[in-house]
Chains A and B, each alone.
Chain A
Amino acid sequence: MNFVSEFSTNDFLYMLKGLGISISLTLWAVVCGTILGIIFGFIRSGVGALLNFFMGSILDVFRSVPLLIQLILFNALGSILKLGFSPFQVSCIVLSVYTAAYVSEAVRSGILSVPPALLRSARSLGLTYFQTLREIVFPLALRVSFPTWVGITLGVFKDTSLVLWIGIIELLKSSQIIITRTQEPILILSIAGLLYFIVSFGFTRVAKRVEKKWEQYEL
């Protein structure tokens, strides 16, 4: 065994660049997916059972088909229709829809967790529909949905590793490229793992702190 490593600072910077791509993909997907998911979830909590079932089953497709296949299919569809999307854009779109499917479920259950009696009493106290929404439904639903949302965000961050299949050099792919040159898989994969770990563990910690802070205002 030799203790002189081929691994250099530049390799580490290359991996950090990969991590940057993973994070920026996550940000795009989570921001777009959350907005879409809130819209879908809000609609789903208000409409009748039939329409809710219909929307639910369509969104469910994105949760029942492997993400890898979704990426491949959308990538192929992009070439067929000559949409001219870059792999990065393809990944952002697929991941956003994937996120939205999960977020809509979380939002819906959050909104449904608000007791109807509370809404009626808010309305009878003279609050308008939008005031009820903003002052009563939103804060209560947020507290219920937030932990799920944190889980979804972490899941999406980890799932960004799949985009290497359609040719994006994110953290895992950059590690693989360096492994091909240096032939030190354990060292490099450990560094990659550590980077993934730091980001997701750190995010969990921040989220926990936010939850704690909100607990102060609980009823």
Chain B
Amino acid sequence: MDYTFHWYPAFKLLPKMLVGSITTIEIAFLSMLFGIIIGASLALAKNSDSKILSSFAGAWIEVSRNTPALYQIYMAYFGLGTFGIYVGSFGALLIGITFNNAGYLAETFRGGLRAIPATQMKTARSLGMNYFQAFIYVIFPQLLKTVFHSVTNQTVWAILMTSLGVIVGMNTDLMGVTNELNALSFRTFEYFSLAAVLYYLITKLFLGLAYLLNVKLFRY
């Protein structure tokens, strides 16, 4: 082997990569936030009696689950331009991941809703609560408990999926920063190893936080 590893230049660029990590976390967070909101709406739409709503939700769920995440990002990046909407790499990445998250989370929420017996709603209503009170005080806390694990998993997926942004020219997130630095020096192995470690730490940090939250939320 006539290759010498140069770890020092990689470590010197660690601050830049850390700044990129913050962007990565930001995108993952935003995509999860929008994903949960859209996913919950899709779940309700899929379960609703309206044929139009339920088939729209069904189509969204099937497309997002049966095509690659990268394809969805491509669709946002190349496809939306046809309609005169130019979103840039950041927008395309965010739209793509959000679309994906929403589809997967909708199925999670649907499963969660199915796990709650219908009598819970009826009991709450008969105790004098209106529909929204019953949903917020009775159904929602139980739903949160059943879907917590899946949502955590989906967030890890979202963090890992943000790395796909580099393929559509993203250069501010962890992967994009690393790729750009790599283009200057071609120390591919060293730089990307460091990026891999950072991704690993981000996911583990998040899982640790989720664990603490889990303990705190579901003590009873």
Give chain B residues whose Cβ lies under 8 Å from the Cβ of A185.
Answer: 78-79, 81-82
On chain A, the residues within 8 Å of B160 by CB distance are 64-67
Using an 8 Å CB-CB cutoff, how does the interface string of B152-167 with A read, 1 for contact, 0 for none? Answer: 0000100011011011
A65-B74 contact, Cβ under 8 Å, with A76-B192, A80-B3, A161-B68: no
Whether A172 contacts B163 by the Cβ 8 Å rule is no
In the assembled complex, which residues on chain A have CB atoms less than 8 Å from the CB atom of B67? 158, 193, 196-197, 200
Tell me if B70 and A65 are in contact (CB < 8 A): no
User: Is B1 within 8 A of A201, CB to CB?
Assistant: no
Q: What range describes how many residues of A lie at the interface?
A: 35 or more
- Residues of chain A within 8 A (CB-CB) of B196 are 65-66, 69-70, 73
With both chains docked as a complex, state the minimum distance between the C-beta of B152 and any C-beta of chain A, in angstroms: 13
Residues of chain B in range 174-202 having any CB-CB distance to chain A below 8 Å:
175, 188-189, 192-193, 195-196, 199-200
A64 to B204, Cβ gap below 8 A?
yes
Contact digits for B1-30, partner A, Cβ 8 Å, 1 yes 0 no: 101000000000000000000000000000
Interface residues of B in 45-71 (CB under 8 A from A): 62-63, 66-71
- Chain A 145-159 near chain B by CB (<8 Å), digits 1 or 0: 000000000100011
Task: Contact check, A165 vs B167: say whether CB atoms are below 8 A apart.
Answer: yes
A69 to B189, Cβ gap below 8 A? Answer: no
A112 at the interface (CB under 8 A from B): no
B3 — which chain A residues lie within 8 A by C-beta? 80
Asked if residues A69 and B175 are in contact (CB atoms below 8 Å), the reply is: yes
Question: Residue of A at shortest CB range from B82?
Answer: A186
| Contact status A189-B192, CB under 8 Å | no
- A196 engages B68 (CB within 8 Å): yes
| Inter-subunit contact B79/A186 (CB<8 Å) | yes
Question: Are A193 and B63 interface neighbours, CB within 8 A?
Answer: yes
Q: How far is the CB of A131 from chain B (nearest CB, A)?
A: 37
With both chains docked as a complex, state the minimum distance between the C-beta of B126 and any C-beta of chain A, in angstroms.
38
With contacts A69-B163, A172-B68, A172-B71 taken as known, whether A64 is within 8 angstroms of B81 at the C-beta atoms is: no
Main secondary structure of the interface of B (DSSP, over half): helix
Closest CB in chain B relative to A203 CB, distance in Å = 9
Contact indicator B199/A192 (Cβ below 8 Å): no
Q: Is the CB of B188 within 8 A of A72?
A: yes
Q: Which of A65, A165, A179 has the most CB of B within 10 A?
A: A65
Give chain A nearest CB distance to B76 CB in angstroms.
Answer: 10
Q: Write out the residue numbers on chain B whose beta carbons fall within 8 Å of the beta carbon of A64.
A: 156, 160, 199-200, 203-204
Distance from B187 Cβ to chain A, minimum over Cβ atoms (Å): 9
Beyond A69-B192, A73-B193, A201-B66, 14 additional contacts (C-beta under 8 Å) are A64-B199, A64-B200, A69-B195, A73-B189, A73-B192, A80-B189, A81-B1, A158-B71, A161-B71, A172-B71, A189-B79, A193-B75, A197-B67, A200-B67
B interface residue numbers (CB < 8 A to A):
1, 3, 62-63, 66-71, 74-75, 78-79, 81-82, 156, 160-161, 163-164, 166-167, 175, 188-189, 192-193, 195-196, 199-200, 203-204
29 A–B contacts, CB within 8 A, in A order: A64-B204, A66-B160, A66-B161, A66-B164, A66-B199, A68-B163, A68-B164, A68-B167, A69-B196, A70-B196, A72-B188, A73-B193, A76-B189, A80-B189, A158-B68, A158-B71, A161-B68, A161-B70, A162-B70, A172-B70, A176-B74, A176-B78, A179-B78, A185-B81, A193-B67, A193-B75, A196-B68, A197-B62, A200-B67
The 9 closest A-B pairs by CB, nearest first: A66-B163, A185-B78, A158-B68, A161-B68, A76-B189, A76-B188, A200-B66, A161-B70, A64-B203
